[in-house]
Each structure stands twice: as structure tokens, then as C-alpha cells.
A = this chain, B = another copy of it.
């Protein structure tokens, strides 16, 4: 294989004598972790490779960390190739790859399979993953499968929660033991259940009424003497969340408290499930990339591989809203056409006022958006803090406005045009401070996503009011300008 197929993801592979390591496995991992262009350069057909590698090697790659890469590679498969791939593996390995596929791909894949195959695969998957896949299936098919699943009660209860809540991302596969159990018994129990659970380093400790009373660390269980009770070594006060909490909030709590598993409890304190850290990471990652899109007025479903038609469809509605606000600014301008026609220099200067106001407002808005994300601010308690961006706006407006004013005054040989520029710049920076502060907070209070719609309202305000203040001043001082 060409040396060029190497990329950022390193992986370690034992080369010591005592481990017989197959060259073919290394090649396969190299190929699935490479990107398209690298594959092209090295003239490797990944689909072909996945469908012809020996079954044993393929299974080993899946068992290692690379099931996700296999899942990504399968997106290029035809339906026939998907079925051929399914035939090559046992259910356990198919399950590992299926868990790593994205939602659309999962549905495409299970659509090709009959009930027996699906039930066989589900046996090797965790309940929360099964619930997610079932939730997307056609109702009839879902019901048929649920009727034949062993743990269908648990899966159905998982399906009750919204996708983006604590309940929607929690798993029911954890170790919960009674507080009055000895360390010896606990360890025996842990050995028994461990293979079926998602995490083992934290043991959840339950009271007499099955309520969560604390957590025990596997470290402590390993080193304590046999007769010690779990209640003696457990941590009493544990951070918990409710199943209806938004997944973003859960991820912030996990981040703040460095939790590797967040217990989900109902109002009576009964343990419903736990959220594992890999799901927390997925949420944070999702939110991060979503915010980038929202702030740019793009749709979360559009990606670099969307078609032109999809792009047009996703973007047009937002552009339409923008057109309305752009016309608002335009109509403000047309109110002053007389004024502009008398001093055409106003036309070139007013765009500076509007533009700078928009940018200053964006700065304030970014600070507020982050504070909202961090849960540091809300409209009711913190509205008084608006005076800070207002004062900062006055100072910045005076400094920036003075520079702009001098340039404009020199360019057009009219000091009064410079004075108007300074005044309008200060005024529009105050507008920017007020709207940059309140727009995201009001949207948040109205339960509208502030990352999405803030910038459009903000720029509408700084454009309309920026033009209005500047041209009003110009109208008043007209005798000095002509």
C-alpha cells in the first residue's frame, strides 16, 4: 500500500514478536481512516476492500475502535453491497457497526433486513440505541418488532422521552446495588453484570425504596475489605437531573461537575437511567457545530454535501426574512431622498454609520449569547446590566466616530459633516448596545432560539436607526452642509 495513505488519526499496532498481527488489518485500518482524495491517489477501492477482506480481519477492525470508520465507508454502498456486507458478518459485529451509523443510514440499512435479522442484531445493542432506531421506524414495523423483543417494556419507556432531553439520551444499562450490600457481594454482582453495562467505574447505590442514595467508586470497592457495606463507602450527595431536562443543559452540568455518568431521577428520587459521557460529548459537539450554522442564518440540516436544490430550499426562507428587514432600512432611506439629493456625500457616509453599528452590536450580542449558553444571565434578573454596553458604546462610538468624522470632514472639506458623523456614530453605538443586549435575552425569554434569530433583528435595528439618526441630523443642520 502506498505510503501516502496516512492521516491525522494515529493508531498503535503491536509489532512485538509475541503478538501475531496481520498486515491486512493494518492496511484495512489505514484505508478506512484515510479520506477520499488519499484513497484516489493510492488507487484503493474501499468498498471492494470491505467486501473482500477476510471475515476474521474485518471483525477485528470492528472490535477495535474503528467500527465508526466502517459505518462511514458504508454510506457509499449500494443496497446490494449493504446486504452482501450483512451476510459476511455475525449479528454481534453488525450491531457494533449499526450503532455507529447516523440515523438516516441506520434506517436505510434496517429497511433492507427482515424481522429475524433485525431481532438478532438488536440482541447485541444497548436499549437506548434500539429505542432510537425503533423510534424512527414505520409504526407497523415498530410494533411487530416490539412485540417480539425481550426487553420491550424498558425500550418502550425509553421511547417516551423527547430525543433532545435527558430521558431521550439516557441508557438503562448501569449497575445499581443496594446500600446494605457488602463489598464482597457487590464485587461478585459487578463481575456478573459488567459485560452488559455501559459503565462500570461508578456503581449507583439504592435505598430501601429503590431511590438513589449515592454512588460508589469501583476503586473503593476493589480495595475495601469484604464485610464493609456499600453505604459506608458511598458518596452521599450526588448531582442528578430530571428526564425532561434539555440535553444541552445536561451537558453543561456534566462539564461543570466533571461527571462521567449523570444519573437521571424522577421527582421521587427513583433512578430512571444514566447518561454516559460519550453521549454528553456528542451533545456538546452537536451544539457547537449547530450554533455556528444558526448564527450564520443557515439550516442545521444543510452540509457541504447537500445538493444545490437543497441549499436553495434551506436558505431561501431566511433570505426572505432578510429581504423584509433590508426593505425596512431602504424605506427609511427613501424618507430622506430630498436630504440626500441636496448633499450626495451623505450617501457614502451613512453606510459607515450603519455598518459600524451592526458590528458593535454583534460584539455585545456574542457576549450575551455566550452568557446565555453558560446560564449566567437572564432577562428578569439582569436587565440592569444593559447600562454597561451602553456606556461602552458611548466611549467606542466617540473614539471611532472621531476618527471617521475627521476623515469625512477632510474628504468633503466640511467640518459640520464630520460633527454629524461623530454624533450619529455615538447614537448608533448606543442603539447597538441596547439591541445587542436585549434581542438575544428577549428571544430566549420568548423561548425562541437566540443563536438563530438574534442577528437579523439586531442589524435591522442598527441599519434603520443608524440611517434615521444620521439623516435626521443632516436634515436639521442642512444649512451648514450645503
Contacts and interface: CB of A to CB of B under 8 A. Distances in A.
A322 to B, nearest CB: 5
B316 A396 contact: yes
A11 to B, nearest CB: 5
13 contacts: A14-B214, A60-B237, A65-B235, A65-B257, A201-B201, A296-B366, A316-B396, A318-B363, A319-B356, A319-B359, A326-B404, A327-B404, A340-B340
Contact of A239 (B9, B19, B222, B241): B9
Contacts of A365: 296
Contacts of A285: 251-252, 255, 284
A345 B337 CA distance: 7
B13 A237 contact: yes
A295 to B, nearest CB: 5
A308 B199 contact: no
Given A200-B219, A222-B190, A355-B322, A239 B10 contact: yes
- Interface secondary structure of A, over-half rule: helix
A281 B284 contact: yes
Contacts of A117: none
A385 B306 CA distance: 11
A280 interface: yes
A294 B291 CA distance: 12
A442 to B, nearest CB: 16
B355 A463 contact: yes
Nearest to A285: B255
**Residue picked from A64, A213, A237, A318, most chain B C-beta under 10 Å:** A237
B64 A289 contact: no
A333 B304 contact: no
Interface residues on A, range: 35 or more
A393 to B, nearest CB: 9
Contacts of A23: none
Contacts of A451: 292
Total copies of this chain within the assembly: 2
A481 interface: no
Given A29-B237, A195-B223, A367 B65 contact: no
Contacts of A237: 11-13, 25-26, 29, 60-61, 64-66
A327 B425 CA distance: 14
B355 A392 contact: no
A199 B258 CA distance: 13
**Residue picked from A25, A212, A245, A285, most chain B C-beta under 10 Å:** A285
Given A19-B179, A236-B60, A348-B334, A396 B319 contact: yes
Contacts of A254: 281
Contacts of A374: 289
Interface string A287-312: 11101111111100011100010011
A352 B281 CA distance: 41
Nearest to A33: B239
B355 A347 contact: no
Contact of A194 (B25, B35, B222): B222
A315 interface: yes
A37 to B, nearest CB: 5
